[in-house]
A and B are shown apart, each in its own frame.
Chain A
Amino acid sequence: MVMAKVEVGAAPSLNVAERADGRSASQLRPLSLSRGLLTRAHGSATWSQENTTVLAAVYGPKPAAMKKENAERAIIEVVWRAKSGLSGSYEKDAEVVVRRSLEYIILTALHPNTAISVILQVINDDGSLLACAMNAACAALVDAGIPLNGLLSAVSCGVTHDGQVFLDPTKPEEQKCKAYVSFVFPSRRLSAVPELPADVDGEPVEYGILTSVTRGAMEVEEYFSCVENCRAAAAKVSEFSRSSIEQSLKGNRDGC
């Protein structure tokens, strides 16, 4: 979990790199979210960023295994299933990252002695996989009705060898760029827990970086530039996911 206070000047203007799908450097791929697909799971959601798709399922709160249960709070279990092949260290690492991010938003103290399982299945990987999975997990939690103190919005971006920052890399772009980073920002309009501060050191909580995972080496300035760009993009992602969830909930209410 990384909390950083970032003091940056105006975001540097992005040069439009020639991207294979014709996007500009600050353009995200089309997003799509659908919830409630699975019958056995308590909550499920599929999040797609064009060709990258992750299906998330949530079970919980359910009884935890004896040796794992915690008398004070619910435990969160994350299982990451790769599309093909055996689970290796990448999957374990991703599970830890997702779990720690979710621990921030789930109100675990409300359900002691239980477990909340989040299972992520990679349907297709075309870059920005971690961000996609994080968004899917958050939407699945909402679908399952797990009490949360806010939502998450995740974005990833890459840095080219000549220092240009571009959002939402595809798989070939990730392989060719110098470094790429995935950010998770909290997305919270009203806190479910009013005692929690709305801002930290004068900066709204939504600007804080919840999780940051980098791959490859980049300069400090480039990193800060990534933060700025991703923050703006995360606001859009958050808007999309909220409106999508609200719409489907409205539908439910009318339908039943």
Chain B
Amino acid sequence: MSHAGLRMSTNEKEFIVAAIREEQRIDGRTPFDYRRLQIKFLKEDGSVEVQLGQTRVLAVVKGEITQPYPDRGNEGSLAIFTEFSPMGDPAFEPGRPSEMAVELGRIIDRGLRESRAVDTESLCILSGRSVWSIRVDIHILDNYGNLVDAANLAALAALLSYRRPECTVGGDDGQQIIVHPPEVREPVGLIIHHLPIAVTFAFFGDGNFQVLDPNLKEEEVMGGRITITINSQGEICAVQKGGGVGVSASEVMRCLRIAAAKAQSMTETLKKAVEIHEIERAQRKIRRHPNLQNQIDTASSVPNPIKKIEVEMEETSEDIEPKQALDTERGIKDLSMSDSSRMKSTETEVAETLTEKPSRAGGRDLFAGGESAWGDDVKLTPLKGSPGTRSTLFPLDSDALVEFDVAARAVLRGGVSSQRMSSKLVSEPLQRQISDQIAAAAVYANQTSPLISEDARPLGPIFPRVGDMDSTEESDAALETKSCKLFHYAIAGFVQTTSN
């Protein structure tokens, strides 16, 4: 199996074979070890780059609506195109595919298409008229041996991550196909029944020495090769042994058994990688809503929320001494001058959006978050990890938020513990809720060191210890700010838990 373009000395060739007889490989692997596998999903759905050691393969899946084959009217089609680009190897010439390219294309084709791994009946739109035609293009970027296995994996990963636009049949005559753009309806994936994994062995000597996943140099000196396409259920989809040194049947059986085991572990790896990609994809979709961020930015111009709270304060602060009530009002006015007014108004904004059904978010999840307003220096782990931030926080509607604010201030001002909270301040069921919240926030405060940041982020990890606050020492304005922050913190905690 000589390889044009790679010139190896006789010494090197003999060394490789001699080493394999001793079950040593030149790159340090054991005979039945795969090289390091990296599956990278690119930005577009259905594009995957697989790196097996130094071999790199790019697979791209594209779908198109076409007419079906006349004898298969209600089935879509899957076609695999392998182009040996001259990028991968100086020996690859542009133009006519070499026999290696043809062989590779056929092995993958048989493994994927003829084993019916991809369900083609689900690709039918209008029987006999329109079907989806799926095309897989495999580009060899770097040839460092065992292109078949890498290309097969790339094709599988690409098919698993590909999403075709959803289409419905409608119109007056029921014959019109409407293709929905991805913004309107979520594109749908292909139905894949099983994953045929290609496992390649190289033979040396008289065929009695085999290695798995030969690299370029081993391919240069090998006597023969066998590729077994098998899935994790142990079903053999294809076997290809094209010429080369004769191998005994028992050796072939041994290879089959090893291939079955390798296919299982490879399937696991592939599924895990696809899963991680799916999660990232979903997260990206959630984060991609600039609407909410714009609202937060413009909320500072909205005077109403501040006014609303002011009014509430006047009403419910009966039990608090009149002086303090006045101070509270003044405090609010001070706040509206300072940056934290923006925080306050955004709080209510966020609360409102949380409780409303988010029609702005296009009917998606409850929390349609925009870009995180938290910078890189904000550590999120303390927020997520501490018990105060877990499920003890309940969703509060805007009224409850206001009441919570009141209660929080009362706690801070008078050092009132949650049990001693006057029942006139808050209603019974809400009291329990709020006391839990305050307790949670207090627990948090005592656990973590204060991360005071004076910037005007709408939600920030700013929480001084509850015990540190002594109402006699600090000015009312400062206290206002702090209670504001306590309030914000609890919301931040809630927001964090919902967005996870």
Contact = CB atoms under 8 A, between A and B. Distances in A.
Interface residues of A, number: 22
Given A40-B143, A121-B141, A62 B90 contact: yes
A119 interface: yes
A32 to B, nearest CB: 13
Interface in B30-89: 42-44, 47, 49, 54, 56, 58, 60, 62, 83, 85-89
B142 A81 contact: no
Interface string A25-37: 0000000000001
Given A40-B88, A59-B86, A123-B47, A84 B142 contact: no
A123 B56 contact: no
A79 B93 CA distance: 10
B47 A124 contact: yes
A100 B275 CA distance: 45
A175 B219 CA distance: 47
Interface string A9-53: 000000000000010000000000000011111000000000101
Interface in B91-120: 94
Contacts of A39: 54, 142, 144
Contacts of B83: 81
Contacts of A62: 90
B334 interface: no
| Interface of A (DSSP majority class) | strand
B267 to A, nearest CB: 26
Nearest to B47: A124
A85 interface: yes
B144 A121 contact: no
Interface in A65-99: 79, 81, 83-85
Given A121-B141, A124-B42, A59 B62 contact: no
Could you say which of A39, A57, A83, A84 has the most chain B C-beta atoms within 10 Å of its C-beta? A84
Given A39-B54, A40-B144, A79-B94, A123 B87 contact: no
B85 A40 contact: no
A84 B87 contact: no
A55 interface: yes
Given A38-B87, A38-B141, A81-B83, A124 B43 contact: yes
Interface string B120-154: 00000000000000010101011110000000000
Nearest to A57: B87
Contacts of A22: 290
Contacts of B135: 84-85
B142 A38 contact: yes
A170 interface: no
Contact of A81 (B49, B56, B139, B144): B139
B141 A83 contact: no
Contacts of B87: 38, 41, 55, 57, 79, 81, 119, 121
30 contacts: A37-B56, A37-B142, A39-B54, A39-B142, A40-B89, A40-B90, A40-B142, A51-B43, A53-B42, A55-B87, A59-B86, A62-B90, A79-B86, A81-B83, A81-B85, A81-B87, A83-B137, A84-B62, A84-B135, A85-B135, A119-B85, A119-B86, A121-B141, A123-B47, A123-B49, A123-B58, A124-B42, A124-B43, A124-B44, A124-B47
